Structure 1
Amino acid sequence: MISNKQQATSNKQQATSNKQQLAELRPFIKWVGGKRQLLPELAKYVPEHFGTYFEPFLGGGAFLLALSPENAVINDFNSELVISWMIVRDKPEELLKQLKQHQLNHSKAYYLHLREADRDGRLENMTLVQRAARFIYMNKTGFNGLWRVNKKGQNNVPFGSYKNPNIADNDTIKTVSRYLNDVNIIITNGDFEKMIETAQTGDFVYFDPPYIPMSATSSFTAYSSDFGYDQQVRLRDVFVKLHQKGVHVMLSNSDVPLIEELYGRIEGIVIEHVSVSRTVGAMASSRKKVGEVIVHGK
């Protein structure tokens, strides 16, 4: 019978081994608010030992891939994103074949035609491989890597006008697929609170929710308008329960006054203030330093 401490040690050793074997794992999609810029800061607060890793707001998965845990449960409420992760794991060759077709046909007119698939009934008739390829193609060629839908769940991101988008990224997709198959990872699609119900003492949960807007008009980091104040409060309550349960918890968000209101008076919780280079505004080339926070237990 393996003890929790032995499992945690094995988990860390295997994670190190995975990193050495796979070199640097990087996301197969672009993601607004992705964590690659924040990785050096996040790394400072990773627990030395942990059991299962949980990530309820997966997105592009930059932190998951950098951490490379042996045991993990990952989740997102974006069903097209979750399908894409599953297909990268299960059918990378079929996916790449579809993406190469998209690359051959790539144009503004083709992008807009494919975008209409969630309006004209084509999406429901697509295979999961086709849906994953559509998602990745639109992510790579839509404006600034944004995935945004209207109240009807229809994508409304404009064409990105990139010169040479890497649509069929063979090496990255195969490398991520190999990692997902070499370790024990459960992929789910649902509410963040439900997916962490099995988290136990010594496990590690990282929350990367849609960020709180920096101002009333700034929402460049969010891809869902459904995650508002009430959801941020519910997330805080879940965070506290996990912390009190002995689970290692960490959260990233915007550096706004609401963070202090939500997390500033919790015993054993620290708020770290960091500065990250982000693309801001209408121009994809416009980057500036923005304030973010990392909230974690002592």
Structure 2
Amino acid sequence: MVKDNKLIKPFVKWAGGKRQLLPELRKRIPKQMSTYYEPFVGAGAVLFDLQPEKAIINDANHELINAYKVIRDKVEQLIADLKTHQNEKDYYYETRALDRTTEYEELSDVKRASRILYLNKTCFNGLFRVNQKGQFNVPFGKYKNPNIVNEEVLRAVSGYLNNNEVKILSTDFEEAIKYMRKEAFVYFDPPYHPLSDTSSFTSYTRDGFDEADQKRLKKLCDNLTKRGCRFLLSNSSADLILELYKDYTIEYIDATRAINSKADQRGEIKEVLVRNYEVNDLNG
């Protein structure tokens, strides 16, 4: 299923992105499926690597999903607006502060997508983080030449989204796979459960993703298994995750985390891949 168009790739930097793990994920993702589901799509590294002809993608981050839709429907308008941004500190903070004003609600979908892509490319360490009020709160990155307008990638992603049957949602992860059938396949990449009390980074949305959500996701995986549906899940190697999925196949993967708000928490860590199907099923 992996396709050759290398320009179809993530258009945002994303903490927890899966680009580095793609070789390991490819080995485990079935070659045949009716529909590809990804309820925590994030930057879309796996989606854009597989480039399935039929997919349902979802993310709880409404601003991110708005960007996907604008890239699909209004890519040239988005590119034109991105070219108006300035890599300048005062301008950055002025743009960042828009979601703290009443005028933010009046911004067009193109303006909102342009703003979030600009902030993502110029903020500190490529973080996407919001506070309890849902406001973007990452400081200026001070990069000399950030690639704010990657026209080739934006047009390639737009082409993929338009030339295939890709449904884009922004709802709860359970709702996103509500109508999944046995022939389909789902890849779960939720916000990882923290390895320690000080390492939590779940603020992609104002509501975060807590232990109760992790348990709810596991229950969903149990229901999928009972229905004969295949799933692959990524998460941290936290004790909670190992305990929750002890009845499934768990594999440890080395991963390097380059994006973190704390420098001493970047570096190589152990992650896990959990699945409910056998390796010899991968071609079927």
Query: What TM bracket, shorter-length normalisation?
Result: over 0.9
Which residue matches 1:3? none
Alignment partners' CA distance in 2, 1:292 and 1:221: 16
CA contact (8 A) 1:188 1:195 kept: yes
Larger relative contact order, structure 1 or 2 (CA cutoff 8 Å, min sep 6): 2
Q: 1:278 aligned to 2:278?
A: no
2:7 and 2:266 map into 1 onto residues whose CA distance is: 24
Letter in 2 for 1:175: A
Q: 1:284 and 1:29, CA in 2 relative to 1: closer, same or farther beyond 3 A? A: farther
Letter in 2 for 1:92: V
Partner of 1:9: none
Following superposition of structure 1 onto structure 2, how do residues 191-230 of structure 1 map, counting pairs within 5 Å? 191-220=172-201, 223-224=204-205, 226-230=208-212
Contact 1:144 1:284 in 2 (8 A): no
SS at match of 1:277: strand
- Kindly tell me the number of residue pairs found equivalent between the two proteins: 276
Equivalent position to 1:83, from 35, 58, 66: 66
* TM-score, scaled to structure 2: 0.93
Indicate the residue corresponding to 1:240 in structure 2.
Answer: 222
**% of aligned pairs identical?**
47
SS at match of 2:101: coil
**1:247: how far off?**
1.3
Whether 1:115 and 2:96 are equivalent positions in the alignment is yes
Q: Does 1:94 align with 2:77?
A: yes
Structure 1 distance, partners of 2:105, 2:259, is 34
- Alignment-mate amino acid for residue 276 of structure 1: A
What is the match of residue 45 of structure 2? 62
Q: Does 1:188 align with 2:169?
A: yes
1:48 deviation in Å? 2.5
Moved more, 219-228 or 186-195: 219-228
Query: What letter is aligned with 1:47?
Result: P
Alpha carbons 1:220, 1:280 under 8 Å: kept: no
Shift of residue 283 of structure 1? 6.1
Q: Find out whether 1:264 has 2:246 as its counterpart.
A: yes
In the alignment, the residues of structure 1 paired with residue 259 and residue 43 of structure 2 have an alpha-carbon distance, to the nearest angstrom, of: 18
1:169 to 132, 144, 150: 150
- In the alignment, the residues of structure 2 paired with residue 240 and residue 161 of structure 1 have an alpha-carbon distance, to the nearest angstrom, of 46
Amino acid at match of 1:44: K
Q: Which runs of 5+ in 1 are unaligned?
A: 1-14
Q: 1:188 to 1:93 in 2, by over 3 A?
A: same
Question: 2:228 corresponds to which letter in structure 1?
Answer: G
Structure 2 counterpart of 1:133, from 107, 114, 125: 114
Equivalence for 1:5: none
Q: CA deviation at 1:25?
A: 2.3
Counterpart-to-counterpart distance in 2, 1:24 and 1:98:
21
| CA drift at 1:219 | 2.1
Q: What CA distance in whole angstroms lies between the structure 1 residues aligned with 2:79 and 2:215?
A: 40
**In the aligned structure 1, how far is the partner of 2:265 from the partner of 2:84?**
31
The equivalent of 1:42 in structure 2 is 25
**1:89 and 1:258 mapped to 2: Cα distance?**
38
Cα offset for 1:196? Answer: 0.3
Structure 2: give runs of 5+ residues left out of the alignment: 278-284
Check 1:220–1:163 CA distance in 2 against 1; reply closer, same or farther (3 A cut): farther
Deviation at 1:243, TM superposition (A): 1.8
2:124 is aligned to 143
Q: CA RMSD in A?
A: 1.7
Tell me the SS of whatever aligns to 1:249: strand
In structure 1, give the amino acid aligned to 2:230. Answer: H
- 1:290 equivalent in structure 2: 269
Contact 2:10 2:45 in 1 (8 A): yes
* Contact kept in structure 2, 1:140 and 1:167, CA below 8 Å: yes
When residues 24 and 297 of structure 1 are mapped into structure 2, their CA distance, relative to the original with a 3 A threshold, is: farther
